């Protein structure tokens, strides 16, 4: 795939499965439009809008060289970074105050073709130093 500077639009499906340490599990699902920018051969930027609990946020996922960054902008703002085998600090600002976040990435895989792609992300999410959830996120897009 050659480098592109113009965003292309397509469809995105995101499923995130959370398992709290105390047991049980729940899913969050999102499907909608996305835009994809491919500034370099090993780099992808996916952008979409997501509505949760009545608030609409802009999400950007940047994938490059086995690493990922997810930025949420809206009523809740956050920045999380992912790299397999690493624990990386992040932050989230909510209407109720700031949360110290950290992510320990168990695995990060992504594949991309000319008109589609997939990201599989397994991670542990820590809030204020304590394990909050184990998560598995699956993103699929088609242009």
Tens digit of pLDDT per residue, the chain (143 long)?
445 567 899 999 999 999 999 999 999 999 999 999 887 778 899 999 998 878 889 999 999 988 999 999 999 899 999 999 999 999 999 889 999 999 999 999 999 888 899 999 999 999 999 999 999 999 999 99
DSSP string, 86-139: -EEEEEEEETTEEEEEEEEEEEEEEEE-SSEEEEEEEEEEEETTEEEEEEEEEE
The CATH code of the domain at 8-142 is 2.40.128.20
For the full predicted model, state whether its pTM sits above 0.85.
Answer: yes
Please give the pLDDT value at position 2: 47
Q: Give Cα 107 distance to the centre of its chain.
A: 13
Please give the pLDDT value at position 89: 97
Please give the pLDDT value at position 5: 65
**Residue 111 to residue 119: CA distance in whole angstroms:** 7
């Amino acid at each position: 795939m050659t480098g592109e500077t113009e965003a292309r639009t397509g469809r995105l499906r995101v499923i995130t499965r959370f398992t709290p340490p105390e047991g049980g599990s729940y899913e969050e699902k999102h499907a909608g439009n996305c835009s994809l920018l491919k500034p370099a051969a090993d780099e992808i930027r996916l952008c979409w809008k997501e509505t949760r609990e009545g608030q609409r946020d802009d999400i950007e996922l940047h994938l490059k060289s086995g690493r990922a960054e997810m930025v949420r902008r809206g009523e809740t703002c956050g920045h999380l970074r992912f790299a397999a085998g690493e624990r990386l600090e992040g932050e989230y600002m909510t209407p109720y105050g700031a949360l110290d976040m950290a992510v320990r990435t168990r695995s990060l895989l992504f594949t991309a073709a000319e008109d589609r792609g997939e990201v599989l992300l397994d991670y542990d999410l820590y809030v204020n130093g304590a394990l909050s959830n184990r998560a598995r996120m699956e993103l699929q897009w088609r242009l």
